């Protein structure tokens, strides 16, 4: 079984991550289902040569070190790719990167 797992700690609110994943799936024509639990949102995607499970887990807000009055949100995105080849892994990773690339920092 070919499997690839990775986790990203994103500087986005979970709603932004969910929206980014939905937009990426529509743009790339990935069939998917979305499941919301009390602690996370799961995306089940069908890829050309396998499938993917994406977990979106919001983290507690944290204070900025230079301004304790401001808080920022983070989200953990865990990706599990199953039965996919190296080219699909590379392509999917690039698509995720582009989905969460922020212009101007």
Domains defined along the chain, listed by start? 3-99 (3.30.310.80)
Residue 78 has pLDDT above 80, yes or no: yes
Res 7: pLDDT: 94
For residues 2 and 71, which has the higher predicted lDDT (pLDDT)? 71
Under the banding of pLDDT at 50, 70 and 90, the label for residue 91 is very high
Res 96: pLDDT: 93
Q: Report the relative pairing of strands 62-64 and 32-36 from DSSP bridges.
A: unpaired
- In this prediction the pTM is 0.84
Residue 57, CB-side half-sphere exposure with 13 Å CA sphere: 11
Res 37: pLDDT: 93
Contact 41, 18 (CB under 8 A): yes
Tell me the two tokens of residue 65.
């070190």
**Mean pLDDT, the chain, whole residue set:** 88
């Amino acid at each position: 079984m070919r499997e690839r797992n990775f986790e990203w700690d994103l500087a986005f609110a979970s709603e932004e991550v969910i929206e980014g994943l939905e937009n990426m799936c529509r743009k790339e024509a990935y069939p998917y289902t979305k499941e919301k639990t009390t602690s996370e949102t799961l995306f089940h995607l069908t890829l050309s040569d396998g499938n993917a499970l994406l977990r979106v887990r919001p983290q507690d807000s944290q204070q900025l070190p230079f301004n304790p009055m401001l808080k920022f949100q983070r989200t953990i995105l865990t990706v599990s790719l199953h039965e996919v080849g190296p080219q699909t892994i590379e392509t999917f990773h690039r698509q995720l990167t582009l989905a969460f690339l922020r212009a101007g920092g």
